[in-house]
Every structure is written in structure tokens, then in C-alpha cells.
Chain A
Amino acid sequence: DAGITQSPRYKITETGRQVTLMCHQTWSHSYMFWYRQDLGHGLRLIYYSAAADITDKGEVPDGYVVSRSKTENFPLTLESATRSQTSVYFCASSESPAGGQETQYFGPGTRLLVL
């Protein structure tokens, strides 16, 4: 029962490089989310997806790209990493909220350092 996994768990990269963070869930949840966590800001939504091939921007989408070709995967790409993107990134998933809110289940996070 893997649940929701993220890889890599830690990543160091340089300014200007492209970085892809992976997220995989085994529950067949329709909704998936990417958040970044920064001290004092809590978690801020970057992008979310309601189903395969359906994605939409969250609160802080600039500098990020997502795709969702399969229900179980939701990769997040930083096209040209900047130091301000140094953060802890969390992926989450949930059932469709039709009829009410559904619990979001979070992965263990990816700690990204951009030098």
C-alpha cells in the first residue's frame, strides 16, 4: 500500500536549470495538487488537476509547468529554476469533491535547494 510518493526527496540544482519533481499515487484519486511550503507562508497551491489532461493554476503558478497524462502521475517542472523556488514541495491527492469536500492526502515532500 504505497499511497502517495514523491521523488526525489532531496534535490540540489543551479539557477537556470530545469528540474522535474515526480508525484505518484496508487489510490486512483481524480484530484491531485502541488503545494510549496515556506516558513511563514504555510502551504501555497501551485497547480492542481481534476483529472487526467485537466490542469489549472493555483495561487503561485509562475515559473512552474505541470502535466497529467495518467491519473496516477502528476509531475511538476521548474523550467528555469530560480533561488526563490528553493522550498519544500508537497504533492497531494483526493477523491472528487462532488457532494462535499474530500480529504487531501499529502506525500512526504521534496526538499529543493536552488543555488
Chain B
Amino acid sequence: QQQVKQSPQSLIVQKGGISIINCAYENTAFDYFPWYQQFPGKGPALLIAIRPDVSEKKEGRFTISFNKSAKQFSLHIMDSQPGDSATYFCAASIEAAGNKLTFGGGTRVLVKP
């Protein structure tokens, strides 16, 4: 039973375009939603995170949109660059249950120059 479902599995975008990755969760107790970025041969690294008390968070070219009623959240990468080519994972956790993350299946993003 996958509690966090991520789509698409892969996407190709032209340089300067917008990359959009979507995640849906089932457990309404989740209260922390981070996105991790992973380059080949490396471990994942935190990119940006959001809590359900806000609907949007922006850091540079990366934006998280959060829809609590739909139990969905998404990552938008604006002005995508070849250096953004990586695998992106959404995740969710329950603050009161410690720091355990439940990850989505991942999205491999390729930005073509």
C-alpha cells in the first residue's frame, strides 16, 4: 500500500520550460511534505518543504503548491535548466511520530538544452 503516489515517473522538458510533478497522499495525519532531489550516484538532498497551513511556498525557481482538501501537492520547476536533470521525490511525515518519511516513487526529470 503506497501512501504517497507520485506522477509522472519521468518527464522531458526543454531548457527554460516548466517541470511539474504531482503527488497525492492518503493519510490525513501527514503534516510535513518535503521534496528531495537526487543526482545519479548520490544520496537524496532536501530541496524544499511545506506544511499544510500554507498553500504555496517558493524558493528561487522551485515552488510547492499544496491542496489540503484534495490531499495533493506538486512541485513546479520554473525556467528549467540542464542542471536540474535529476530524480525528484516527494515525501510526507507526521511530526508527532518522529521524523519518519514516506516517499513517493520518484520522477526522473531530463532537461534538454
Contacts and interface: CB of A to CB of B under 8 A. Distances in A.
Interface of A: 31, 33, 35, 40-45, 48, 50, 58-59, 90, 92, 94, 97, 100-109
B44 A31 contact: no
User: Size class of B's contact patch?
Assistant: 20 to 34
Nearest to A43: B103
Contact of A90 (B43, B102, B105): B43
15 contacts: A31-B99, A33-B101, A41-B2, A41-B105, A42-B4, A44-B103, A45-B102, A48-B99, A48-B100, A50-B98, A59-B102, A94-B99, A108-B42, A109-B41, A109-B43
Given A31-B98, A40-B105, A106 B44 contact: yes
Interface of B: 2, 4, 6, 9, 32, 34, 36, 41-46, 49, 89, 93, 95, 98-106
Given A106-B44, A107-B43, A42 B95 contact: no
